[in-house]
């Protein structure tokens, strides 16, 4: 995907527990060693406003956040991140690595919550302001693996959702990823070093 920016935006997507945070960090370290200027961000979050939104979305404050309200909160965080951090870094020619991005709203709020996909994508378009990933890495794990990895950990507000919710999210992710020319699907159950090698191999020809 050509952003018409000098820099590159690389996004990691996947179910909770799929390893997006770990792989985003490993790629950032690799690129820094190669001499790239790298900014690593997360969604929701990445800015002062985004971190406050993240707390509202993920911490259980006892509020009944309705699906459309949840989507708007994600878009608030996304719009701020794009304008405050991502566009300036892209214009400088730097690499931005994002732990989740717009496809997560299609999967979670669209397929998971049942908000019409065209509504989610219209709001994404407004928030993104023309920015699209140069590459999206989807780390795929099944529902059993997600539950195994989350066992013994305190779940956030969304991680408390039932298996059926996550089944819809995973199917939505797979549908969305397969429609994206710049997306790469990787088995998220592989050892983390092997996943990292595959990510670098996929990216180095065109981006690195």
| β-pairing verdict for 183-187 and 135-140 | parallel
Question: Which domains are delineated in the chain?
Answer: 8-164+177-189 (3.40.50.300)
pLDDT single digits (tens) 84-103: 999 999 999 999 999 999 99
pTM value is: 0.94
Task: List, edge to edge, every strand of the sheet that includes 95-99.
Answer: 38-42, 95-99, 8-14, 135-140, 183-187
132 and 81 Cβ atoms separated by less than 8 Å: no
pLDDT single digits (tens) 28-69: 999 999 999 999 999 999 999 999 999 999 998 888 999 999
Residues sharing a CB contact under 8 Å with residue 2, sequence separation 6 or more, in sequence order: none
- What's the CA angle centered on 154, arms 187 and 104, to 5 degrees? 45
């Amino acid at each position: 995907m050509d952003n018409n920016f000098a820099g590159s935006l690389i996004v990691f997507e996947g179910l909770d527990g799929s390893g997006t945070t770990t792989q985003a960090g490993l790629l950032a370290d690799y690129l820094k060693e190669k001499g790239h200027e790298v900014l690593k961000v997360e969604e929701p979050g990445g800015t002062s406003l985004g971190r406050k939104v993240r707390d509202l979305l993920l911490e259980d404050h006892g509020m009944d956040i309705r699906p459309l309200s949840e989507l708007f909160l994600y878009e608030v965080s996304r719009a701020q991140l794009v304008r405050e951090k991502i566009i300036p870094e892209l214009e400088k020619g730097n690499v931005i690595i994002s732990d989740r991005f717009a496809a997560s709203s299609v999967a979670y709020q669209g397929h998971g919550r049942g908000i019409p996909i065209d509504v989610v994508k219209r709001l994404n378009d407004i928030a993104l302001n023309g920015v699209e990933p140069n590459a999206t890495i989807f780390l795929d794990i099944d529902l059993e693996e997600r539950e195994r990895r989350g066992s013994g950990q305190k779940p956030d507000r969304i991680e408390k959702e039932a298996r059926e919710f996550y089944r819809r999210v995973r199917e939505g992710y797979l549908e969305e990823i397969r429609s994206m020319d710049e997306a790469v699907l990787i088995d998220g159950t592989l050892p983390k070093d092997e996943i990292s090698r595959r990510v670098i191999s996929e990216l180095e020809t065109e981006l690195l």
